[in-house]
Amino acid sequence: MPRVELEYPKEAVNSVKRSSDRGVYALRTIHQIINSSRLVHVSFNVPDSPFPVTLPMIGQMGSFARPSADEGDVLDLYLHGYVSARMTNLSRKGTSDGQEDGAGGIPVCISASHVDGLVLALSPFASSYNYRSAVLFGYAVLVSDEEERLYAMELITDSVVPGRWRDARGPPTPAELQSTSILRVRVKSGSAKVRVGEPHDEARDTADAELCARVWSGVVPVHETFGEPIPGPSNSRAVPTYIRDYVKDTNEVSAETAVQAAVEPLKKEKAKESDD
């Protein structure tokens, strides 16, 4: 763990222009948002088109050189998913081995967002979401080193269900390895935006007793839920503990995160008031 909370440098491309109190540059916050997203959106440009192209992929922050690094450290982003022929060709511009920062690879923008609540204010215009969103900018290359590829495949498999890599069938067959692409993004900058708390109504609206009595205002928490695991046709055993626990624990944390996002600032404010 680093002794200080590292931050990405604030530059033109990543600086949060509006509601700057919502802007966060801490690596830990940004990496946690990325790592807790089931999918990230990867945007890049292709020749002869005015449109960026965006693909959903599975992404996890990691460090092959120092696997024990924590989420607050300088990390790379490993990506797995369908890597199009266009993207492969573009990312081959840089090789993954011994490459200097920015010496090659395809410029990508990676984004991930969690909605934690519907914030319903008295006016539609004061309404909002509680959310956590992060964006990373960097250069993506196809990883060719077999050891690093295996490191990333385990990282990504265990992001779906922790412990799955060790439990599932291994080792990978040559065909499996051959058909699996891993991209590594050397991160150049990033930022996050986070909104928590109750609706922020205008004074003229909260002073309107008729309006407050007529229109409900508050937060509807939003979170991801895992349902009851459904066995596939090849299955012949009960759901193992590591899956059952992961489902249960993740559901509890997700639901609690959404509620905390709605009430935490309220509680803090009350604590502060009682301090005064």
| Interaction residues for its own copies, span 41-100 (CB under 8 A) | 41, 43-46, 49-56, 58, 82, 84-85
* Min separation Cβ 58 and its own copies, Å: 8
Query: Nearer Cβ to its own copies, position 70 or 84?
Result: 84
| DSSP 8-state assignment for residue 172 | P
Of 131, 28, 140, 167, the C-alpha closest to 81 is: 140
Per CB under 8 A, does 217 bind its own copies?
Answer: yes
* Min separation Cβ 136 and its own copies, Å: 10
Q: Kindly indicate which of the ranges 24-32, 63-71, 89-97, 103-111 contains the residues binding its own copies, using the contact rule CB under 8 A.
A: 103-111
Per CB under 8 A, does 236 bind its own copies?
Answer: yes
User: Which residues in the 121-160 window bind its own copies by CB under 8 A?
Assistant: 121-125, 127, 129, 131, 133, 135, 137, 153, 157, 160
Contacts of residue 208, defined as CB under 8 A and 6 or more positions apart, other chains included, come to: 122
Q: Which amino acid is at 44?
A: F
> Which H/E stretch holds residue 40?
strand 40-44
Per CB under 8 A, does 19 bind its own copies?
Answer: yes
* Rounded Cα gap, residues 130 and 119, in angstroms: 7
Cβ neighbours of 113 (radius 10 Å): 16
Query: Nearer Cβ to its own copies, position 49 or 68?
Result: 49
Options 101, 240, 249, 253; binder of its own copies; rule CB under 8 A = 240
Query: Nearer Cβ to its own copies, position 26 or 211?
Result: 211
Options 5, 101, 176, 252; binder of its own copies; rule CB under 8 A = 176
Per CB under 8 A, does 4 bind its own copies?
Answer: no
Q: What angle do CA 109, 113, 119 make, to 5 degrees?
A: 140
Contact 72, 66 (CB under 8 A): no
Per CB under 8 A, does 179 bind its own copies?
Answer: yes
Whole-number Cα distances in Å, 121 to 11, 70, 128, 129: 33, 38, 8, 10
User: Which residues in the 194-213 window bind its own copies by CB under 8 A?
Assistant: 198-199, 201, 205-206, 208, 211-213
If DSSP codes are grouped into helix, strand and coil, which group holds residue 159? Answer: helix
Per CB under 8 A, does 163 bind its own copies?
Answer: no
Q: For the stretch 89-101, what's the b/e string if a residue is b when 16 or more beta carbons lie within 10 angstroms of its beta carbon?
A: ebbeebebeeeee
Options 239, 249, 252, 268; binder of its own copies; rule CB under 8 A = 239
